[in-house]
A and B are shown apart, each in its own frame.
Chain A
Amino acid sequence: MDEFSYTNIFATKGIEYLIVIAYFILFVFFTRALDASTKDDHKSAGRNGHVE
């Protein structure tokens, strides 16, 4: 019978939890970085008087 180890990150699927947590954290930074470019565009457009 295979031995089950509670400290094995693969057997406990802990690695999947870590990937999901990493994904959620990175997604926040990712969307903020994407949005920052849009806000910068609006600001510079506003300075040039192009905002409708």
Chain B
Amino acid sequence: MTTSVQSGTPREWDIREFVKFVIKEAKPRGKFLTPFNMISIPIILVGAILVVIRFVFGIGSITNLSQSTPWGIWIGFDVVTGVAFAGGAYVVTFLVYILGAKQYHSIVRVTVLNGFLAYMFYAGALMLDLGRPWKIINPIIGNSFGVSSVLFLVAWHFLLYMAAEFIEFSPAIAEWLGWPRLRKIVGGLTIASVIFGITLSTLHQSGLGALFLMAKSKIHPLWFTEFIPVLFFISSIFAGLSMVIFEGSISHKVFRSRVSHEGHADHDAILLGLAKICAGVMFVYFFLKVLVLVHSQQTHLLATAWGVWFMVEVLGFVLVPGYLFFRAVRAGDVGLVKVASALALVGIILNRLNISVIAYEWYAANPYIPSWMEIEVTAAVICVEIWAFRWVVTRMPVLSDPPSWAPER
């Protein structure tokens, strides 16, 4: 019965056949010695060894973190920046399911998958950063809720949002498994999970910014403002969409054979549509940055070295990519959209790292500089996420059309 173990073929529940199917699907496909594999495998292996060392000998064994600088690049990049990059999922689902912008329908699944994996791996990397990682469950089980902490909100939001994104993506899993009844049930939950997910996203994107409100004395005045939560939320919109453009362009090339006819036909129009939204949001964000700067009465600090660095971030990586998005939309230039999205992503990395690492304890005599091992582990987490993304995309109907028995998406 070889046909019964094909992915996407409708079948009745049978445990033996299910196990056979999963084992078959788990096996690697295609060429193994690709350039990406050759680079990523050593990075993942070294990262795995470092993670073992971290858990055996403690967090100080591989990081430059200390009592005065307990948050480093694992929080600043993996969590704070990674979550902003994952913002594309809530923006695109909002566009498609709430605003009815059906032209973006073909990218919903890949965007939700991207967001789900980003939360799973980047927020999962929190485990590495916690001194006592087994206590991560406390805010959930009530051993010590810690309701007065912003982290309580962030912890619950991460957990619930990951569940919402999993439900949003589960129709693709049901189609892959060939279970029409499950497909029908989870398909009916989509709208509810989208609304729930959007609500959670708006709150925890800003909640991550709110974490830094209590560090007023530690963050450079050019970056500290009581409006950090608002700025985090607004910037997560264009950060997420820029990631969708950047990652979507790569996926479109790498998984060309799996992209549906609809996906091929609409690709350029989708990128230009997203660029238009990015241009508008970056215009708003730039004015807010200027307004907040003037409001905080710190303009005199622009004449310092930190001021120059601040202007590099705001002019070079907000105003310039915003203008490039604008030009690209006016000219219908898809290549320029990709350049602008890359610059916008660099801008988001700079902004999040400035607040959480670079301009954090800016006055310290011995500022925190991440060890090579911290950077290596971060690179390993990114590589594992890409492996997981590739595994899912090459098996489930994410970029490709759903099976014929599945209802219209």
Contact = CB atoms under 8 A, between A and B. Distances in A.
A4 B111 CA distance: 54
A33 B322 CA distance: 14
B279 A16 contact: no
Contact of B294 (A15, A26, A36, A41): A15
The CB with the most chain B CB atoms within 10 A, among A33, A34, A38, is that of A34
A10 interface: yes
A37 B329 contact: yes
Interface residues of B, number: 16
- How many residues of A sit at the interface, in one of the four size bands? 10 to 19
Nearest to A24: B287
Given A10-B297, A27-B283, A41-B332, A34 B291 contact: no
A41 B290 CA distance: 33
A12 to B, nearest CB: 13
B330 interface: yes
Given A10-B297, A16-B295, A41-B332, A34 B279 contact: yes
Interface of A: 10, 13, 15-16, 19-20, 23, 26-27, 30-31, 33-34, 36-38, 41
Contacts of B330: 33-34, 36-37
A34 B326 CA distance: 7
Nearest to B273: A38
A47 B309 CA distance: 49
B58 interface: no
A19 B290 contact: yes
A26 B322 CA distance: 14
CB-based closest 4 A-B pairs: A37-B330, A23-B287, A19-B291, A37-B329
Given A20-B291, A34-B329, 10 more contacts: A16-B291, A16-B294, A16-B295, A19-B294, A23-B291, A26-B283, A36-B330, A37-B330, A37-B331, A38-B276
Contact of A34 (B280, B284, B287, B331): B280
A2 to B, nearest CB: 14
Interface in B274-332: 276, 279-280, 283-284, 287, 290-291, 294-295, 297, 326, 329-332
A16 B295 CA distance: 7
A13 B295 CA distance: 8
Interface in B183-198: none
